[in-house]
Amino acid sequence: MIYKIFSIIIICLYTLGCENHNVNKSNKLKFKPEKKYSNIGFALIYDDKLKNIKKLDDRSLSIYHKSLKKKSSIKITNLKNGKSLIAVVKSNREDFSDFYNAVISKRIAEDLDLNHKEPYLKIILISKDSTFIAKKSKTFDEEKKVAEKAPIDGIQINDLNNNEEKIKKISKEKFSYSIKLADFYYKNTAQTMISRIKNETSLNNSKIQQLSETKFRVLIGPFNDIKTLRESFEKLKTLNFENLEILRNV
């Protein structure tokens, strides 16, 4: 009798242990953080004069991107005025310079009031089940329908008339950007990276920015013109660094 009772207790404890294990396992899966793509840099505003790039409708809310999947939903923000919108990746097969984080339509540039000479923006990948997407999807569909019906000439005229004064005002600001290579936990690692840059490229304007006790950022710059910035960016890309970002006034 005692043996039977003891056996029942052992079985119950084992069952509870399995249940707790499954619960813990499911919780780990449920709360596992999702790694999202984010990049800050310059966009390329589509123009019919661009070679080897498939036409991007002036009225669309679509972009070309090199690494994000087709039909991915993204949030684009003009970092100079805080304006943002949702767009969709139309293709990741178009060939354009790595200096640009995306090719965007004229409609997107207009809606965000981007400076055409300095189209500086941030791109964030948004998961399809995101609450942000759920709230904005209806608005996005409505805006898309309106854009498709709007005449191209109208968009071009608005772009010239409404943004001319804003572009002139923004162009007076000093051009000052740096290339963010990466953030490191140890300062020694950051210093090793700077040594590599000096040895493998002709770039000598690198520096370490200490953000906290355990965060050291390697920057190249600053650059005072977009031509030099682009040339330096392309030199760094030959070393196969991932997701280089361009930061303003650092």
With contact defined as beta carbons under 8 Å apart, do 102 and 65 qualify? yes
Residue 72 pLDDT > 90: yes
Give me the pLDDT at residue 245, please: 95
Instruction: Return the bridge partners of 214, or none.
Output: none
The pLDDT-based confidence of 143 (bands split at 50, 70, 90) is low
Break the chain into its structural domains and give their ranges: 1-32, 38-171, 177-248
CA distance 191 to 57: 46
Residue 21 pLDDT > 90: no
Give the amino acid at 91. Answer: S
Phi, psi values for residue 108, rounded to 5°: -65, -45
Average pLDDT, the chain: 78
Residue 141 pLDDT > 90: no
**What CATH number belongs to 177-248?**
3.30.70
Residue 236 pLDDT > 60: yes
Residue 171 pLDDT > 70: no
Residue 101 pLDDT > 80: yes
Q: Which residue, among 239, 248, 235, has the nearest Cα to 97 in the 3D structure?
A: 235
Please list, in sequence order, all residues whose beta carbon lies within 8 angstroms of the beta carbon of residue 69, skipping any fewer than 6 positions away.
89, 92
Average pLDDT on 194-218 reads: 92
The edge-to-edge listing of strands for the beta sheet with 206-212 is: 206-212, 215-223, 177-184, 245-248
Phi, psi values for residue 143, rounded to 5°: -65, -35
With contact defined as beta carbons under 8 Å apart, do 172 and 178 qualify? no
pTM, rounded to two decimals: 0.68
CA distance 180 to 202: 17
What percent of the chain has pLDDT above 90?
56
pLDDT higher at 230 or 138: 230
Continuous H helices in the chain: 2-30, 106-111, 131-149, 152-171, 187-200, 226-237
**What class does CATH assign to 38-171?**
mainly beta
* Joined tokens for residue 136: 């904005």
Residue 217 pLDDT > 90: yes
Residue 169 pLDDT > 70: no
∠ Cα 197 202 205 (to 5°): 70
Cα separations in angstroms, 98 against 13, 47, 57, 79, 140? 59, 17, 22, 20, 28
Residue-wise pLDDT for 40-56, tens only, equals 999 999 998 888 899 99
